[in-house]
Structure 1
Amino acid sequence: MRTTSLVQLAALAALSSVSTAALACPDLAMVPGGLVVQVTDGDTVVLDDGRVVRMIGTQAPKLPLGREGYESWPLAPEAKLALETILLNKPVQLGYGGERVDRYDRQLAHVFVDSADGPAWAQQAMVAQGLARVYSFPDNRQCLDLLFAAEGRARLSGLGIWRDPYYSVRAADVPGELLARAGHYELVEGRILLAEERGGRIYLNFGRFWKQDFTAVIEAPARRLFVAAGIDPMVLDGALVRIRGWVDDRDGPRIEITHPEQLEVLAIR
């Protein structure tokens, strides 16, 4: 009972602090959503008309949800409970900033709930209490600066997932540990040793042995997004960066960067 109470109080406190988010992120197409009748997990809800909404821009700890052999991520029940406190049985508005429907026919939207101070942003409330992290796509990139700011505060304060080693920011110069996280979504920090272009791709190398060390790869479509954003990854030699994405194992651990928001420059040199 005590854990439940603390999670609910944290959710309500986070919600009260983001009631002006709708004004701060004006580039969304807002539409009525309806009533939230079910919370599936910490980033997915069901509306009274049957639509499933995947709360775009965030990733909460995952529950098995009937998947055989799938282990619950740490703090997944707490994330679900927090989102229930924020949204369950409440009318919401949906804000669209990119692709609106995914291949599973889920709505891809930012979710706002009415509060005493105006519309409050559910995604930011979850990130602010450390029960979700920023998770973006090349076709859905609106409002991310606000979410990154909330995530940074939660991480520095050690809230929620940020006090659990499962979600620790990984070191780029320990490739063995990164290989052990292949198939996982990770935040990785390190200094880029060399940025180079080969075969139309940009490779951000974090070590001298490219078949063993961590590498971030920017394919041609992603590079066009970098150009449109006025960012040149080729000038990042020596920069301290944080990269987020799914770790795979191709000649050592690597992450494919599909859009600029996956790459945060922390220091140039």
Structure 2
Amino acid sequence: MLKASLVRLAGLAALSAVSVAALACEQLQMEAGGPVAAVPDGDGLILADGRSVRLIGMQAPKLALGREDFQSWPLAEKARAALAGLVEGHEVTLGYGGEKLDRYGRALAHVFVQTDAGRIWAQQALIAQGLARVYSFPDNRACLDLLFAAEGRARLGGLGIWADPYYSVRAADQPGELLGRLGHYELVEGRVHQAAKTGGRVYLNFGRVWKEDFTAVIEAAGLRLFAKAELDPLVLEGALVRVRGWVDERDGPRIEVTHPEQIEVLATR
């Protein structure tokens, strides 16, 4: 039961279930996007009709874009240029697999470009080049398996961001290093020392000293998504996992897990 549950979680969390991913992508609601007028950053487009599009399912290195006290992340301009080279001069099609608009009014879409070489999925292309990471939301989780597979190949090949220490996968057993990354989006690998449910939330503790060591926390809303997928995060005790999310601090460094795809199971024991 433990092994079976972990395998199911691993499949959802992005190992390489290509057939599942293809099915998910086929189920996208496709709409015409039209010509691209501008590419402000590595995961955003402005269409000729004025619509702003956030490429869902990925996070490119961030540009400062005039924000005070914000430094552009390494390779941010290269990512923007790569996206511009892909979409400029072409019409794009938008694919929706979840919430369609964010609070800023941006379309949250997968972007497809028709070229002489065939149809290109922009998210997959940038992630495959190592110019973006997989980045998902509780209300937008379609097509992730293929994106995780592309990210894994790019990371193993040391492409793009994966050759820069800024984007290194962090070790869960180095809480001091993680405290130095507060407010950053990180990938953290380690073995779950203890999985426990307390007060309506689940804690995945990666060390014996829970007030100091790294912890992944799943609140009630996240647990409902795990339950809907028939997944029990408590079976992760003893598993080697990779957790992705924003690092904050509460009794040591932690990441809040809002949906199952934030956790990749690397080994069950």
Q: Given the superposition, is the C-alpha separation of residues 62 and 189 from structure 1 closer, same or farther in structure 2, using an over 3 Å criterion?
A: same
Structure 1 match to 2:253: 253
Is 1:22–1:119's contact at 8 Å kept on the other side of the alignment?
no
In structure 2, the partner of 1:46 is 46
> Secondary structure of the equivalent of 1:25?
helix
Partner Cα separation in structure 1 for residue 93 and residue 266 of structure 2: 35
Note the C-alpha offset of 1:52.
0.4
1:63 paired residue number:
63
Could you tell me how far 1:104 is from its partner in structure 2? 0.5
Q: Given that residues 133 and 151 in structure 2 are in contact (C-alpha distance below 8 angstroms), is that contact kept between their aligned partners in structure 1? A: yes
Q: In structure 2, what is the equivalent of residue 236 of structure 1? A: 236
Q: Partners in 2 of 1:22 and 1:117 — Cα distance? A: 20
On the 8 A contact 2:29/2:96 being kept in 1, the answer is: yes
Residue 92 of structure 1 aligns to a residue in which SS?
strand
TM-score between both structures, scaled by the size of structure 1:
0.91
Aligned residues of 1:185 and 1:245 also touching (Cα < 8 A): yes
Query: In the aligned structure 2, how far is the partner of 1:206 from the partner of 1:22?
Result: 34
- Once residues 232 and 22 of structure 2 are traced to their aligned partners in structure 1, the CA distance between those partners, rounded to angstroms, is 31
Could you list the runs of 5+ residues in structure 2 that have no partner in the other structure? 1-20
Indicate whether 1:147 and 2:142 are aligned: no
- Mapping of residues 134-173 of structure 1, within 5 Å: 134-173=134-173
1:194–1:204 CA contact under 8 A, matched in 2? yes
- Matches of 1:175 and 1:261, distance apart in 2: 23
The 8 Å contact of residues 90 and 115 in structure 2, kept in 1 or not, is answered as no
Deviations 1:188-208 (CA, angstroms, capped at 9, x unpaired): 000000000000000000001
Does the residue aligned with 1:266 lie in a helix, a strand or coil? Answer: strand
2:200 and 2:170 map into 1 onto residues whose CA distance is: 28
Give the structure 2 partner of residue 34 of structure 1: 34
- Residue 15 of structure 2 is matched in structure 1 by none
Q: Write the distance in 2 (CA, Å) between the matches of 1:94 and 1:251.
A: 42
Give the aligned residue type for 2:98: G
CA 1:139–1:112 in structure 2 vs 1: closer, same or farther (change >3 Å)?
A: same
Separation in 2 of the partners of 1:80 and 1:118?
A: 22
What is the match of residue 88 of structure 1?
A: 88
User: Match for 2:69: what amino acid?
Assistant: G
3-state DSSP class of the match of 2:156?
helix
Contact kept? 1:191, 1:206, Cα under 8 Å: yes
- Secondary structure of the structure 2 residue equivalent to 1:151: helix
TM superposition shift of 1:119: 2.0
Instruction: Tell me the equivalent position of 1:122.
Output: 122
Give 2:259's aligned amino acid.
H
Higher relative contact order (CA 8 A, sep 6+): 2
Aligned-residue Cα RMSD (Å) equals 1.2
State the alpha-carbon separation in 2 of the partners of residues 24 and 258 from structure 1.
Answer: 20
* Structure 1 stretches of at least 4 aligned residues deviating more than 3 Å after TM superposition: 21-24
CA shift digits 1:143-195 (9 cap, x unpaired): 00000000000000000000000000000000000000000000000000000
CA shift, 1:131, in A, is: 0.1
What count of residue pairs does the alignment treat as equivalent? 249
Residue 228 of structure 1: how far off its partner (Å): 1.5
* Residue identity opposite 2:72 in structure 1: S
Alignment-derived partner of residue 18 in structure 1:
none
**In structure 1, the residue corresponding to 2:26 is in which secondary structure?**
coil
Unpaired stretches in structure 1, ≥5 consecutive residues: 1-20
Query: Cα deviations across residues 80-137 of structure 1 (Å, max 9, x unaligned)?
Result: 1100110123100000000000000000000000023432100000000000000000
Matches within 5 A, 1:256-267: 256-267=256-267
Whole-Å separation in 2 of the counterparts to 1:256 and 1:264 = 14
